[in-house]
Amino acid sequence: MKLIPAIDIIGGKCVRLTKGDYGTKKIYNENPLEVAKSFEDNGISYLHLVDLDGARSNRIINYKVLEKLAIKTNLCIDFGGGIKSDEDIAIAFDSGASKITAGSVAVQKRALVEDWIRRFGAEKIILGADCKERMIATNGWLKSSEMDVIEFINSYKKTGISEVICTDISKDGMLQGPATELYREIQDKTDIDLIASGGVSSMDDLYLLIELGCSGAIIGKAIYEGKITLKQLRELC
């Protein structure tokens, strides 16, 4: 299972939210590069970078942060937040993203995302399936749709996409454990590599996600709050 620390960016700074609520913003470090290098120095190979300013806007905002991290580390960076157009995805890849996460745009502009899959390759696009009470949420989780998460994931199978990041918004930032029942159902009812996101609070949670067969786990607040240490992640790597 891939261990994928997360860096969420607002105003160029490393922050975390609770349940996607921008009003709960907490700044953990004003230098995202410093954080990324600490991950790399502890044997981490992957990074989930989210432009939270972009997520609630109509375009990428913090692409300079992506560019700096891509140039100054060897991390495999998947980038999401604000990717809504051909210009945005070009900026993301030109700035050094290894992959992009298509979240809101995959709901609102399906034809565009399917075109990206044809042009860039399915292996370069991760499907973002963020949900609240099973319903897909968009625009930095500020809007809800009427699409069930399982139906949404299965609707994209035919496009060739092989990875999905699924976040249960009710779990995000709560440090109360991941949405194991939802992930078990996704594993049972879809044929796609599942990257679990949200709620990871301990090493036991990571071991559980390994047992569930998740292909990856995104770890955020647990690292910043000291619930999981980089030494523990290094040993697990």
**C-beta separation of 125 from 102 below 8 A:** yes
What backbone phi and psi angles, to 5 degrees, belong to 17? -115, 170
Instruction: Measure the CA–CA gap between 45 and 217, rounded to whole angstroms.
Output: 13
DSSP state of 30: S
Helix, strand counts (H, E) of the chain: 11, 12
Instruction: Report the greatest alpha carbon distance in the chain.
Output: 43
- Catalytically active residues are 8, 130
Instruction: Measure the CA–CA gap between 222 and 105, rounded to whole angstroms.
Output: 28
